[in-house]
């Protein structure tokens, strides 16, 4: 398979949907890993709780270049029942 041009490997890998075991494809060869990573990191959705892990995963410089769409959801700490009717003060806003 390594004799195929990278764009052909990319095209073949695009036919495997997200339900397919992508790590298995990525383990075939370095070129397959690149093809899988291009798909995997093209569009990412994460929460504020996942930022550290996201940063670790994207530590390899080439992965960040694959990122085309990032959806970021901020997760704020939940208010207790007694706090729900109270206004935030400047300290609360700084924490959030």
Note down pLDDT in tens along the chain; length 96 residues. 668 999 999 999 888 877 788 888 889 999 999 999 988 888 889 998 898 888 888 887 788 888 889 899 988 777 788 777 777 788 877 876
Task: Give the residue from 19, 10, 55, 11 showing the smallest Cα distance to 37.
Answer: 10
Phi, psi (degrees; rounded to nearest 5) at 60: -70, 125
| pTM for the predicted model, two decimal places | 0.63
């Amino acid at each position: 398979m390594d004799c195929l041009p990278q764009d052909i490997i990319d095209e073949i890998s695009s036919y495997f949907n997200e339900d397919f075991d992508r790590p298995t494809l990525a383990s075939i060869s370095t070129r397959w890993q690149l093809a899988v990573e291009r798909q995997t990191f093209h569009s990412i959705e994460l929460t504020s709780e996942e930022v550290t892990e996201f940063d670790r995963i994207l530590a390899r410089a080439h992965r960040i270049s694959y990122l085309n769409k990032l959806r970021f959801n901020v997760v704020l700490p939940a208010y207790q029942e007694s706090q729900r009717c109270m206004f935030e003060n400047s300290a609360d806003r700084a924490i959030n």
